[in-house]
Amino acid sequence: MAIQFYNTLTRKKEEFTPITPGEVKMYSCGPTVYNYAHIGNLRAYVFTDILRKSLKYNGYKVTQIMNITDIGHLSSDADSGDDKMTKGLIREGKELNLKNMRELAEFYTEKFKDDLKSLNIELPDGMYFASDYVQEDIDLIKKLEDKNFTYKTSDGIYFDTAKMPDYGILWGGKRIHDEKETRIEKNIEKKNPEDFALWKFNDQLGFPSSWGMGFPGWHIECSAMGIKFLGEQFDIHTGGIEHIDVHHTNEIAQSECATGKKPFVRYWMHNEWILFGNKKIAKADGTFLKSSDLKEKNINPIAYRFFLLMANYGSKMNFNWEALEGAETALNRLYRLYNDLGNTIGSVDKDYQERFKNFISDDLDTPKALALLWDLIKDENVPKADKKATILDFDKVLGLNFEHQSEIIKNEIIPKEIQKLAEERKEARKNKDYKKSDELRNEISKLGYEIKDSSDGYKINKI
């Protein structure tokens, strides 16, 4: 089956064919690094990881680029409100200057990379700080200026959307609709409500340019870096659904008007949100769930990955702790069943592989791929060694870390019943009741576990 993706640009599922046969170039909108990533952000990157891994599984060479937004992103995506990085500096009591801004960015970028690794997300081939490519932004804005797409107001250089007949193609092409008009904060100097800033003036802090000191707009950063690293036209662009109306619409406008080439990107793919208490999890909320909250509750981050794969990336998902714990229990069960398959790795079952490929190629249908994994594990007609090989093959895409995690589980997950007996034995030893202690040791061993005493307690292992 050919790969099919839902393309926001055409609003339908389409067969995927890259510009260069056998190679895929994709750009993923990265985080704004003024705070830790939250678990909603991490959905965006589990999605791109599955996308990238499934393309590789289908034999493509993939180049994935991600921006790290460390300048220019205002609290409203539509050029109003405070600068998010400045807010971060103020929150941390740091002086406002570019050096501190960069340090803040580097700190949260490292934390972000740790989060990605903990979820078994492969790092993109290139992750670039927007502040290192301001000249590229300026060059792109100059191109737009030369072609008469820009105008100046008291606070910046703006893109004149009326000059682009098909502006807004990503959200249906209807120009200036009422809902948008009321949502976008009024800026009376703008010629059209959708016009957006390419460069924002700032006398106190910023980068020099022929228009005056300031910052590039957030949208131009992604256009400039996309073009620099992937070319004037490339295959896939990803991001959360809230980017459709403004950020990605404006990326298309700037890029296509500057280069004269259409389409800037062939397939636009968007992940839906993670909700908590029916509300989008957002950094701006201040209190939000991060991967460290999972660790605090002793939940394996891979269980969160597994939880995400239970829904399609394009569906909304409600997060709650019970559901996550349920996912962790199911995942541990899978690990145990995998462990019970023995040590020999046989050959991949071709029939299961074909079915898996079909599901994953059908707009990344991970729920069906997981259901197939359960079917496989229960299928008595597939020899154990071949099952093991097939699970490892599926895991190239699912990234549930069967090879390593199941080893950890083998050593760490001790049934509650055994833990209870071990605690009773500890109590008996404390009371110097060695007869009872030995009886309990025997009972534990009959159930398949051995207990070893140490200076700071005991350790239980599966025999």
8, 32, 54, 209: which one contacts ligand AMP (CB under 6 A)?
Answer: 32
| 222: partner contacted, choices ligand AMP, Zn ion, none (Cβ within 5-8 A by kind) | Zn ion
Q: Is residue 382 near ligand AMP by the rule CB under 6 A?
A: no
Q: Is residue 312 near ligand AMP by the rule CB under 6 A?
A: no
**Cβ neighbours for 336, distance < 8 A, ≥ 6 positions apart:** 406, 409, 413
163, 200, 219, 243: which one contacts ligand AMP (CB under 6 A)?
Answer: 243
Q: Which is nearer to ligand AMP, 133 or 394 (CB)?
A: 133
Total binding residues toward ligand AMP, as defined by CB under 6 A: 18
214, 239, 301, 399: which one contacts ligand AMP (CB under 6 A)?
Answer: 239
102, 152, 177, 280: which one contacts ligand AMP (CB under 6 A)?
Answer: 280
Q: Is residue 106 near ligand AMP by the rule CB under 6 A?
A: no
**Cα 357–359–361 angle (5° rounding)?**
65
Q: Which is nearer to ligand AMP, 244 or 418 (CB)?
A: 244
- Encoded tokens for 246: 């403004």
Min. distance of Cβ 83 from ligand AMP in angstroms? Answer: 13
151 and 159 Cβ atoms separated by less than 8 Å: no
Span from 132-140, 237-245, 259-267, 408-416 in contact with ligand AMP (CB under 6 A): 237-245
Q: How far apart are CA 120 and CA 49, in angstroms?
A: 9
User: If 0-12 CB within 10 Å is exposed, 13-18 middle and 19+ buried, where does residue 260 land?
Assistant: exposed
Q: How far apart are CA 317 and CA 280, in angstroms?
A: 10
- Encoded tokens for 306: 């597994």
130, 274, 302, 440: which one contacts ligand AMP (CB under 6 A)?
Answer: 274
Min. distance of Cβ 37 from ligand AMP in angstroms? Answer: 7
Span from 14-22, 268-276, 396-404, 417-425 in contact with ligand AMP (CB under 6 A): 268-276
Min. distance of Cβ 271 from ligand AMP in angstroms? Answer: 6
- Encoded tokens for 378: 């229960």
Residues contributing to the site for ligand AMP (CB under 6 A): 29, 31-32, 40-41, 43-44, 239-240, 242-243, 271, 273-274, 280-283
